Amino acid sequence: MFAAAFRTAALVVCALSLGLSFAHLLEAPPRLWEWPADLWREATVFHGQYALFAAVGGPVEILGVVLAAVVAALALPGRERWTSAAASAALYVAALAVWLLVVNAANGAMADWRPGPLPADFRDVQRRWEAGHAVMAFLKLAGFSALAWHVAGPRRLTVRTPSP
Q: Using a pLDDT cut of 70, give the percent of the chain over it.
A: 91
Helix (H) or strand (E) holding 142: helix 122-152
Task: Please write the tens of the pLDDT for every residue from 83-130.
Answer: 999 999 999 999 999 999 999 999 999 999 999 999 999 999 999 999
Closest CA to 143 of 22, 5, 25: 22
pLDDT of residue 158 exceeding 60, the answer is no
pLDDT of residue 117: 94
Question: What type of residue sits at position 153?
Answer: G
Query: Crossing angle for the helix pair 122-152 and 2-33, nearest 10 degrees?
Result: 150
Find the mean pLDDT for residues 122-148. Answer: 97
CB 128 within 8 A of CB 105: yes
CB 70 within 8 A of CB 86: no
CA gap 159, 164 in Å, rounded: 16
Higher pLDDT, 159 or 116: 116
Domain residue ranges of the chain, discontinuous segments joined by +: 2-152
Q: How far is CA 1 from the centre of its chain?
A: 27
pTM above 0.85, yes or no: yes
- Phi, psi dihedrals of residue 35, rounded to the nearest 5°: -70, 140
CA distances from 19 to 4, 25, 133 (A): 22, 10, 12
CA gap 18, 12 in Å, rounded: 10
